[in-house]
Amino acid sequence: MSKVLYITAHPHDETASYSIMVGKAFIESYKKSNPQDEVIHLDLYKEDIPQIDADIFSGWGKLQSGDELSAEEQRKVHRLGELSDQFISADKYIFVTPMWNFSFPPVMKAYIDSVAVAGKAFRYTAEGPVGLLTDKKAFHIQACGGIYSEGPAAGMEMGNRYLKNVMQFFGVPSFDSIFVEGHAAMPDKAEEIKEKAIARAEDAAQSF
Ligand SMILES: Cc1cc2nc3c(=O)[nH]c(=O)nc-3n(C[C@H](O)[C@H](O)[C@H](O)COP(=O)(O)O)c2cc1C
């Protein structure tokens, strides 16, 4: 039995979001193929995802010095620990994000900051950092108004590329993606783009 984290970063549901609609098709197909697996939905717009701020820095400092943390420092540092423990305890990750200004919404970056913990996701060695999550798999579904998987704007794409690099840094050996892309650039093809992406997601989920 695998533990699957279905991580979505969108304020809307599938009725108003291409990425969530395709993500939903993926996870429903995955559940059908893997009914024994545990699937946990982390909706980053509903979860408490602390940003690394002054409380967290001072909390980390106090943990080192042995001083007592304030209630707020304690709460935030504890929550980061919960998120990173949950992340490393999972076997598979499915990230679902819209493209906003060439990348993903800021809460996704805050989430990555909460799980990128030395000693958990990677460790430092004399030869440089080494990823520790070598038995995991990751999948990313991203919706964009324009085309970024190829062509002149490909170099501007920084959401999928960032996640791919981070997963590689964590040692995750498998990273696949679906771009639901071009509906704003080609509105007459929007329905076809959506349907094709849903079909690809349903198919990819069966072997994920
Ligand atoms: C704040 C914001 C920024 C956006 N930035 C881009 C962009 O950089 N490139 C692009 O092609 N589309 C951009 N779009 C369009 C979205 O990527 C597109 O609508 C996509 O479908 C969003 O995913 P969703 O359907 O899941 O909401 C942006 C939309 C919003 C709301």
Could you report the per-residue pLDDT of 151-192, keeping only the tens digit for each? 999 999 999 999 999 999 999 999 999 999 999 999 999 999
Is there a contact between 131 and 122 (Cβ–Cβ < 8 Å)? yes
Determine the number of helices (DSSP H) and then strands (DSSP E) in the chain: 6, 7
What is this structure's pTM? 0.97
Mean pLDDT over each residue of the chain, to the nearest integer: 98
Q: What is the pLDDT of residue 177?
A: 98
CA of 97, closest atom in ligand 1: 26
Ligand 1 center from residue 145 Cα (angstroms):
5
Q: What is the pLDDT of residue 176?
A: 98
Which of 44, 144, 156, 183 maximizes ligand 1 atoms within 8 Å of its Cβ, making it the mutation to test the pocket?
A: 144
Is there a contact between 139 and 90 (Cβ–Cβ < 8 Å)? no
Could you report the per-residue pLDDT of 193-204, keeping only the tens digit for each? 999 999 999 999
Is there a contact between 139 and 26 (Cβ–Cβ < 8 Å)? yes
Which pLDDT band holds residue 41 (cuts at 50, 70, 90)?
very high
Could you report the per-residue pLDDT of 42-67, keeping only the tens digit for each? 999 999 999 999 999 999 999 999 99
Could you report the per-residue pLDDT of 4-15, keeping only the tens digit for each? 999 999 999 999
Q: What is the pLDDT of residue 181?
A: 98
Burial (Cβ within 10 Å: 0-12, 13-18, ≥19) of residue 102: middle
**Homologous superfamily of the 3-206 domain (CATH):** Flavodoxin domain (3.40.50.360)
Of 145, 173, 149, the C-alpha closest to 160 is 149
Where exactly are the structural domains of the chain?
A: 3-206
Q: What is the pLDDT of residue 208?
A: 97
DSSP 133: -
List of long-range contacts for 64-71, beta carbons under 8 Å, 24+ apart: none
CA of 103, closest atom in ligand 1: 8
